[in-house]
A and B are shown apart, each in its own frame.
Chain A
């Protein structure tokens, strides 16, 4: 499922780079090893599926995303869909990084 992010765009922020950075952040937040986060696909459930990912942890996740992806996440960006699955969070990050 990760194959679709494996081809970097010739210009602008690389999709695979965003994907790797995002996996790295989730690895740190969830305390997983690299192999486990490498196994995430677009349908891997996040908020609501992982009990340890409470609102404070998600807030920390966003702060780290802003920092490492050089994006700004606004209050109104926060909705269930982007947090529901890894694919949702990745799509959101890509859209933000392109717009940044």
Chain B
């Protein structure tokens, strides 16, 4: 179930990252791109539940670690959206993905030409705003006054640690500037199509079998063209 996959490094060489994969050499192969930062942790269990259900519907599934994320030993401060996109594109090729399912901010990274789904996409600026806010709230609690503008001014040049995530300057600039709008090859699944309480809002990590059933059904039916 757990294996490694060859992931391109910024210097042009190849590194190695972990992948949670269910590979039985089926024709239909789904690459799953998890959300970034705190939502990666919040969704880990749920993604596993979704994958298990999709696998049971005759689709192979792959959830690759991206550099600097999950079990990766790569330095998060060195990562950029551009490098993550290159990693996702390499993973799509390596696993011979026929479809892609990206969750929340994972949608920023998917190659435009692979059909699939973007579940509950979110704007990069919104994610940056939430991370900044978490830091400001924590600072306020410690009796320090910080502002988004003040933090960002410095972060664009030096990078910044937000809510425990050390982000490089380039990644901060990308998060601020990018729109990351869907390209057309993927269909957006709104949360209302899945129903229930959005798991990314949960203060404590949780999974939801009914939501996993609904999302897996949308994807599996879409893949098999039923």
B197 touches A27 (CB 8 A): yes
Candidates B137, B147, B198; contact of A59 at CB < 8 Å: B137
Candidates B148, B163, B200; contact of A55 at CB < 8 Å: B163
Contact of B1 with A by CB under 8 A: no
How many residue pairs at the A-B interface have CB separations less than 8 Å?
Answer: 67
The complex places the Cα of A61 from the Cα of B222 at a distance, in Å, of: 33
B198 touches A55 (CB 8 A): no
**Do most interface residues of chain B lie in helix, strand or loop, or is the interface mixed?**
helix
Q: Which of A52, A53, A59 has the most CB of B within 10 A?
A: A59
Q: A28-B198, A63-B129 are in contact. Are A52 and B203 (CB under 8 A)?
A: yes
B134 touches A56 (CB 8 A): yes
B135 touches A60 (CB 8 A): no
A29 touches B140 (CB 8 A): no
Q: A31-B204, A55-B163 are in contact. Are A75 and B147 (CB under 8 A)?
A: yes
> Please, which residues of chain B bring their CB within 8 A of the CB of A52?
203-204
> Please, which residues of chain B bring their CB within 8 A of the CB of A25?
201
Q: Separation in Å of the A29 CB from the closest CB of chain B?
A: 5
The complex places the Cα of A59 from the Cα of B165 at a distance, in Å, of: 15
Candidates A31, A57, A78; contact of B140 at CB < 8 Å: A78
The complex places the Cα of A25 from the Cα of B203 at a distance, in Å, of: 11
A28 touches B201 (CB 8 A): yes
Q: A30-B203, A31-B204, A31-B206 are in contact. Are A63 and B197 (CB under 8 A)?
A: no
B202 touches A31 (CB 8 A): yes
Candidates B131, B147, B163, B201; contact of A29 at CB < 8 Å: B201
* Count of B interface residues, CB-CB < 8 Å: 25
> Please, which residues of chain A bring their CB within 8 A of the CB of B203?
29-31, 50, 52-54, 57, 60
Smallest CB gap from B200: residue in A? A60
Candidates B137, B198, B202; contact of A78 at CB < 8 Å: B137
> Please, which residues of chain A bring their CB within 8 A of the CB of B163?
55-56, 59
> Please, which residues of chain B bring their CB within 8 A of the CB of A53?
203
> Please, which residues of chain A bring their CB within 8 A of the CB of B126?
63
Smallest CB gap from A83: residue in B? B137
Candidates B140, B201, B204, B206; contact of A79 at CB < 8 Å: B140
Q: Separation in Å of the A47 CB from the closest CB of chain B?
A: 8
A64 touches B201 (CB 8 A): yes
**Which 9 interchain pairs have the tightest Cβ spacing?**
A57-B203, A59-B133, A59-B134, A55-B138, A52-B203, A55-B137, A28-B197, A56-B134, A55-B134
Query: Which residues of A are in contact with B by a Cβ distance under 8 Å?
Result: 25, 27-31, 50, 52-64, 75-76, 78-80
New A-B pairs, 6, CB < 8 Å, besides A56-B38, A75-B146? A28-B201, A31-B204, A31-B206, A63-B129, A63-B130, A75-B147
Question: What are some 7 contacts across the A-B interface (CB < 8 A)?
Answer: A28-B202, A29-B201, A29-B202, A30-B203, A59-B134, A61-B201, A80-B141
